[in-house]
Structure 1
């Protein structure tokens, strides 16, 4: 018969001497990626993505019939074609998956701690948050830092990651202690890394851009009116980087991309701006995408390919895209600074 003490022995104590415990997990989380560009994989990914109540704030009884019968009949093919343009054939994966994994591996090497376990997950698609949280627990992590890789907070990005994490924690008898990384839109390490990448790209060009566009992923304007701080965070990032580079408001402008559906989204729109700039005498432009830590379909296809076509067809002459921080040394410097800050008191 078990004694009361026996019943409350924790995993890793004498009951399970081989089970590690007392470790700390760090989980880097990015938006998500389909497993391939096939219709079936794209449909599964988009169904999960567009079924998120944080992403689409329409009553599900109205939204799901439209999504499952009309949108997901046609959109997987269109999105698959976009992904095919930027798919990494050598490793058979999206750039977002490649760079997020690389960031985790390089951060682990940088921290070089036997006590801290670094891993990565996607909010939508694979590897899932639930599987990675379980994996960290199996490795003895009793405390976990969840790191949504979104510099600017939005309910449709940062909040939905945290929602999914705590939804899984609800299913666990024994939950790890959890911290969540706050938005870092004005963190000195982020501003330094972002401004440095923009300056390096500008200096490497064979032309001098008339305007640098800071293009952020948009959200519906109604979300902003409900109190989402995303627009304000984007504005502060833009201002801090502009000041760091010694530019004025005409030399660096803020725009928003990737709108979906008929409602109004945050403006000015990136595509409309690119089309209008040549008419204003702006013939040379460079674009950065500060809302994205890693290059993805929104940066490599929507901006670098479609954005270029829009600008040049409207009469522009020179176009350049600033790569995201990806797994560069400044990117790992940034992640190390953020993670060490959140590990304070635990390590």
Structure 2
């Protein structure tokens, strides 16, 4: 196959490209420039898509003997990921920009361009397993559960997955680094990127407030209705947050207060004790079936609401505008805007059944 390898400049994408070459594919490397003004150097594990990363990707491609290009996706990234991120916070929701980036940039904009140029597939360094049964893609968790990225890939359509390759899904991170060492790839010990790539200093609240400004409101005790403090904008909070709320006095039970809900229209942040964070039912919309087969009725599944954590057994059922999830075990800190992925058990490991956006909880 003619394969376009997305090379971030990290060890995972370099080894994934190397495996694609070794498998006999005609491989071309491409680095996605996601910022019009990228930083020059990384700061440890924070940030990505810097000039340094582009240089690392180019050197890895040179070692593999494959053509290499840098494609500018900064405009698409700003519109589809950063603007969406800010809009969701403005609505009092909790977005996942990594899901949006994979969905709208790496496997929409990039794949669309790749197909238009005659490539058969896009290869990435994601940790997830992908197979095809009767022309239907099956997306499963990685062998390395600690690095599994099927959660952020489950929002891809079946057609997108048919043109995707994830060579690392059957490996553990330690094996990938060891392989990079054997291949002489100098990125073998490069640290992984963490946090949100376009907020290199990790200060999400500061980033959001610098873009959205201040919109004063009140922090209210959810049980008593007492106004506890004022705030600069609901976009500075997320459901489940404990630190940095701005209320020093504990709740009635003497325990710390947590953010329970956000009301952008009235600029109200409702807080209360941790036990009021638990939910048993979740309503979702924007449902995507990565395997292409829609849910016909209620199904026993395992749901995940965060990239790492928030896992529980549940029953998911289709409704007119999406799906309803009845949790077998309560989960805390579920926020509107988060992505929910439902998995079913199979002989070959957890299979991603659907992904959806959380709208309401109960």
Between structures 1 and 2, the one with greater strand share: 2
Q: Is this a same-fold pair by TM over 0.5?
A: no
Between structures 1 and 2, the one with greater helix share: 1
Task: Give the TM-score taking structure 1 as reference length.
Answer: 0.28
Higher relative contact order by CA 8 Å / sep ≥ 6: 1 or 2?
1
Task: Give the TM-score taking structure 2 as reference length.
Answer: 0.28
